[in-house]
Amino acid sequence: MSKKNTRQKRANKQSRMEKGQFILPKLNPRIIVGCIAFALCLGYIAIMNSIATEGFRVSELQNRLSDAQETHRKLLTKSAELQSLTRVEIRSADLALVEASNVGYLRPVDELVVALKTE
């Protein structure tokens, strides 16, 4: 009887092949489950790796931001120091500048135009 079953299976297989149907061998369900579990583990590892990489980049950017904020704070302090009135007065004394007593401003006249000719 087993010879008859094998002959019948072969005949069915040949008739399916002639019809263009694909024949898949029977796979052990344990192998399929194992392959799926392996693929899921690889996916999990890949996702965790990308999350760890992004976390590292975020911490690096946070460090750069805090450094930039510290530099900005120092520059604001230095700017305020350089623009202070006492510093300007001390610097003007060092340069022997004197206070102007008579200040006049030029008012442009619409009808007159002055040009400098260069040769």
Q: How far apart are the first and last CA of the chain?
A: 121
Whole-number Cα distances in Å, 31 to 25, 36, 42, 43, 44: 13, 9, 16, 18, 20
What are 33's two structure tokens?
A: 């489950």
- Rounded CA-CA distance 26/32 in Å is 11
Is the predicted pLDDT of residue 110 greater than 90, yes or no? no
- Render pLDDT for 65-107 as a digit per residue (tens, 0 to 9): 999 999 999 999 999 988 888 888 888 888 888 888 888 887 7
Statement: the pTM of the whole predicted model exceeds 0.75: no
